[in-house]
Amino acid sequence: MGIVINLFLIVSASVVFFAAGFFIGRFFLESIGTTKVLEAEERAVQIVQEAQKEANEYKELKVSEVNQEWKKKRREFDQEVVIKNNKYNQLQKQMQQKEAQLKKQLQDVRDMERKLQDQRKEIDQTTESVNLRSTDLDRIILEQNQRLESISNLQSEEARQMLIDNMVSKAREEATETIHQIHAEAEQNAGRLAEKTLLTAIQRISFEQATENALSVVHIQSDELKGRIIGREGRNIKAFENATGVDIIVDDTPEVVILSCFDPLRRELAKLTLQKLLVDGIIHPVAIEKAYADAKKEIDDVIMSAGEEALSSLQIPDMPAEIVSLIGHMKFYTVYGQNLLLHSREVAMLAGLMAAELKLDARQAKRAGLLHDIGLVLPESDQPHAISGMTFLKKFNESATVLNAVGAHHGDVDKETPIAELVDAANVISLARPGARGAVTADGNVKRLESLEEIAKGFPGVLKTYALQAGREIRVIVEGDNVSDSQADVLAHDIAHKIESEAQYPGQIKVSIVREKRSIAYAK
């Protein structure tokens, strides 16, 4: 029991002590919380005050920035207003000036209208007086015409016709004299220019003309080789002629053997064959056949070399190989005794030099001059060689200038460019100069001269005609009583024009009109 009481007391004391501790702790905690709350409130108040202060400062800053921005915009606006006001003032001033000008112009127009009205009145008055004067003049003229008709016994129509005839005759004579003067001046100026151009072109070139028509000369080292060429009983010569188709002539001329054939290409093949045989020194029928076969292989190189050399000498690039080969073939062709390649080169040089003097395309002129006779080495055709050459060159896209010059150099087509005229002139110069071509037969020359004389005889007033200087001049004797000096000038032009249209001739023909009047009297 006592133990129980003690335990009870102990427990009661513990409870009391615990309760007392609890209350004491609670009081202590409450006092500490109160202090913290007070501090927190003070801190909150301080933070609020600081925040309000910062807000006020930020507000003042923003208000200041807004004020500055507004002032800036205001200044810009004021400046724009000033500028626009200035522009408005300028426009207003300009409008006032325009208005003043328009008023002045309006006043001028009104003044002009008044002047025009005054002038119109004066013109009307003048017109009326002129009409009255014209009526009086018509009446006076009619009276005078009637008096003239009664005096001269001629009607007015007859007198008018006589006057017209006299005026027409006088005008014709004056026109003829004017034509003669113009023609003389044109001939003089054109003659100077043509002479200068041709002389400049001709003096700047020099070609050695080939005269080999049917013969080729082969030089040998010694006359001992002639025996080998002949062979035993002439067997080598027979074998050579059978293989090449060319006659070989071995005569007494020292160190020379002559090959004869009208085909220049075959003659060149024979020449190459003989040269190969002479280099080897072995000549017999088998060697001849072998040398001829080798020469046939080399002739193509010779042809191409000749074409390329011609192009190089004329400085003409970009030529198709087929055309180059045909140019090389020209080396072995002759026309009336003139080597075709040399003739074509000469025409090209003359045309190129004349084109350069006249400020034309010299390269085109040389190209056309070199190719103008290419139709002569083409296969035979029914067309003229100029047309054949032009048609052939079209396949290689030659320029229109070159094609026209090739086709027109004998008049088969119309000349469309100055280059065609130059090529034609160069061709005439090359073929017509002395020594360029072989002589024409006497019969053909006589017929040509007779045809020229007959053309001139067909004109009225012509008494006699003479062809002089191998057809370079036609001298025409006319009737002095029926043909005047001015009519003689017209007659010379008409005869020259008819010769141009009907005759074919190289170069030019001079037509000279001789008007002679003889007065005869007898002393008794």
Which amino acid would we find at residue 186? A
**Beta-carbon neighbour count of residue 156 at 10 Å?**
11
- How far apart are the C-alpha atoms of 79 and 93, rounded to whole Å? 21
End-to-end CA distance of the chain: 229
Q: Under 8 Å CB-to-CB from 344, ≥6 apart: which residues?
A: 310, 327, 330, 369, 370, 371, 372, 373, 374
Three-state DSSP at 404 gives helix
Q: Under 8 Å CB-to-CB from 279, ≥6 apart: which residues?
A: none
pTM, rounded to two decimals: 0.45
Three-state DSSP at 515 gives strand
Specify the range with the lowest mean pLDDT, choosing from 40-54, 152-166, 198-212.
Answer: 198-212
Q: Under 8 Å CB-to-CB from 467, ≥6 apart: which residues?
A: 449, 450, 452, 453, 473, 474
Which amino acid would we find at residue 453? E
pLDDT digits (tens, 9 = 90+) for 45-91: 888 888 888 888 888 888 888 889 898 898 889 898 999 888 898 88
Rg of the chain on CA atoms, in Å: 59
Answer yes or no: is pLDDT of 194 > 70. Answer: no
What does the pLDDT read at residue 276? Answer: 83
What does the pLDDT read at residue 186? Answer: 67
Which H helix or E strand runs over 244? helix 235-244
Answer yes or no: is pLDDT of 413 > 50. Answer: yes
- How far apart are the C-alpha atoms of 186 and 363, rounded to whole Å? 29
Three-state DSSP at 315 gives coil
Cα separation values, 407 from 330, 384, 420, 477, Å: 18, 9, 9, 39
Token pair listed for 180: 């003669």
- How far apart are the C-alpha atoms of 268 and 131, rounded to whole Å? 97
- How far apart are the C-alpha atoms of 288 and 278, rounded to whole Å? 11
**Residue (of 368, 363, 355, 359) closest to 409 by Cα position:** 368
Burial degree of 355 (CB within 10 A; 0-12, 13-18, 19+): buried
Answer yes or no: is pLDDT of 110 > 80. Answer: yes
User: In this structure, are residues 311 and 324 in contact, taking their beta carbons and an 8 Å threshold?
Assistant: yes
Q: What percent of the chain has pLDDT over 90?
A: 0
What does the pLDDT read at residue 513? Answer: 87
Q: How confident is the model at residue 433 (pLDDT cuts 50, 70, 90)?
A: low
Cα separation values, 309 from 5, 264, 268, 305, 365, Å: 158, 19, 18, 6, 18
Q: For the residues 29-41, what does the mean pLDDT come to?
A: 75
- Who wins on pLDDT, 466 or 149? 466
- How far apart are the C-alpha atoms of 466 and 199, rounded to whole Å? 30
Answer yes or no: is pLDDT of 220 > 50. Answer: yes
Token pair listed for 375: 């139709």
Helix (H), strand (E), coil (C) string for 113-166 = HHHHHHHHHHHHHHHHHHHHHHHHHHHHHHHHHHHHHHHHCCCHHHHHHHHHHH
Residue 243 φ then ψ, to 5° = -75, -40
Q: How confident is the model at residue 130 (pLDDT cuts 50, 70, 90)?
A: confident
Q: Under 8 Å CB-to-CB from 366, ≥6 apart: which residues?
A: 314, 315, 316, 348, 349, 351, 352, 355
Cα separation values, 324 from 113, 272, 298, 301, 404, Å: 83, 21, 16, 11, 20
- Who wins on pLDDT, 226 or 440? 226
Which amino acid would we find at residue 208? E
User: In this structure, are residues 451 and 439 in contact, taking their beta carbons and an 8 Å threshold?
Assistant: no
What does the pLDDT read at residue 208? Answer: 43
pLDDT digits (tens, 9 = 90+) for 313-362: 888 877 888 888 888 888 887 766 678 888 888 888 888 888 888 888 88
Q: CA 160, 161, 167 angle in degrees (round to 5)? A: 90
Chain-centroid distance of CA 85 in Å reads 64
Q: Under 8 Å CB-to-CB from 498, ≥6 apart: which residues?
A: 455, 458
What does the pLDDT read at residue 449? Answer: 73
- How far apart are the C-alpha atoms of 375 and 392, rounded to whole Å? 8
What does the pLDDT read at residue 4? Answer: 46
Q: For the residues 232-240, what does the mean pLDDT come to?
A: 82
Q: For the residues 92-102, what does the mean pLDDT come to?
A: 89
Which amino acid would we find at residue 382? D
- How far apart are the C-alpha atoms of 429 and 448, rounded to whole Å? 19
User: In this structure, are residues 307 and 377 in contact, taking their beta carbons and an 8 Å threshold?
Assistant: no
Q: How confident is the model at residue 31 (pLDDT cuts 50, 70, 90)?
A: low
- How far apart are the C-alpha atoms of 479 and 315, rounded to whole Å? 57
Three-state DSSP at 249 gives strand
Answer yes or no: is pLDDT of 202 > 80. Answer: no
- How far apart are the C-alpha atoms of 177 and 161, rounded to whole Å? 24
Q: CA 356, 358, 363 angle in degrees (round to 5)? A: 35
Residue 512 φ then ψ, to 5° = -115, 125
Q: How confident is the model at residue 304 (pLDDT cuts 50, 70, 90)?
A: confident
Answer yes or no: is pLDDT of 184 > 50. Answer: yes
The neighbouring-strand residues paired with 218 are: 257
Cα separation values, 36 from 25, 33, 40, 165, Å: 16, 5, 6, 150
Tell me what the pLDDT averaged over the chain comes to: 78
What does the pLDDT read at residue 191? Answer: 61
- How far apart are the C-alpha atoms of 281 and 248, rounded to whole Å? 17
DSSP notation for 338-391: EEHHHHHHHHHHHHHHHHHHTTS-HHHHHHHHHHTTGGGGSPP-SS-HHHHHHH
Answer yes or no: is pLDDT of 33 > 60. Answer: yes
Highest averaged pLDDT of the listed ranges 17-31, 230-244, 497-511:
230-244
